[in-house]
Copies of this chain bind each other. A is one copy, B any other.
Amino acid sequence: MSLVITGTMAYDAIETPFGKTDKIIGGSCTYAAYSASYFYKPIQPIAVIGGDFDQVEIAAMKARGIEFDGIEVKENEKSFFWSGKYHMDMNTRDTLVTDLNVLETFDPKVPASCQDCDFLMLGNLMPVLQQKVIHQFTTRPKFIIMDTMNFWMDIAMPDLLETIKMVDLILVNDAEARQLSNEYSLVKAAKKIMAMGPKFVIIKKGEHGALLFHGNQIFSAPALPLEDVFDPTGAGDTFAGGFIGHLAKTKDISFENMKRAIIIGSAMASFCVEKFGTERMKEITQADIDARLNQFIDLVNFDIEIA
């Protein structure tokens, strides 16, 4: 059974206080697929690329069990391009260039080979396109998660609310949770968002970790405190990819197992930021991941006797 991940596959040019890249591979789907590929195969991305997308990169993704059945290649067009510059705090950034290119006319197609999908991840993308993907499944995937961003709240809120209604779990960052719910308290925000449809809400807080909400249950996961964050691009997508990869692997959507999935996603995100772009996501090993998970256990583990 496939793990289907839709989103963008792109070229990014990134500037941080520590360095600068020319065009490197990026996009929500790329990061999420790389991350998930450490836990599940096959990964089936649904995305669009231009003829300029590097064959070496395609081969590298295929070698990690990322299939290309659902990837449309527009040979005579250019891939989506994004360029941004991070501020000193690495939490805020300015977008310098957004060239939609192939994305402008993207019409996602779910191929027959992806119909056996239990776990579907809708990476950040226009909300109507996220809906289009869901509608093409003859049988609804068992568990659908979505990511989004403030941009869609600003310009396409009705579409976004429609997509939110259709999913089991939504991932947003803290600012987006507040914008979507009009509540400052993240607990109140999560409750309002759950009332919009999803039974689970994950609020990502960057260097402060993430919160998982389900009914009245809350789980708080830390982020690994890091000496250096080299490039935060893709950290959220990598987190989501590790999360859905673990769910797909274990086929267990209990709250307990989602806690594990969040810790795994957090571990994967902590690798992502250590180098530019997807570089670190291509080179880590299972031993690296295990060692990082042990760091997470040490980081939060305490033992208290209550009378």
Residues of A within 8 A of B (CB): 88-90, 184-188, 205, 207-209, 211, 217-222, 225-229, 256, 259-260, 263-264, 286, 290, 293-294, 297-304, 306-307
Contact = CB atoms under 8 A, between A and B. Distances in A.
Contacts of A307: 286, 290
Given A89-B184, A184-B88, A187-B225, A302 B219 contact: yes
B259 A302 contact: yes
22 contacts: A88-B184, A90-B184, A185-B227, A205-B208, A208-B208, A208-B209, A209-B222, A211-B225, A217-B298, A218-B299, A219-B299, A220-B222, A220-B225, A220-B299, A221-B300, A221-B302, A256-B302, A259-B301, A259-B302, A260-B303, A260-B304, A294-B306
Contacts of A188: 227
Given A205-B208, A208-B205, A208-B208, A187 B303 contact: no
A297 B207 CA distance: 21
Contacts of A218: 225, 298-299
Contacts of A221: 300, 302
A233 to B, nearest CB: 18
A185 B185 CA distance: 26
A247 to B, nearest CB: 14
Nearest to A246: B304
A226 B300 contact: no
Nearest to A185: B227
Given A185-B229, A226-B185, A256 B299 contact: no
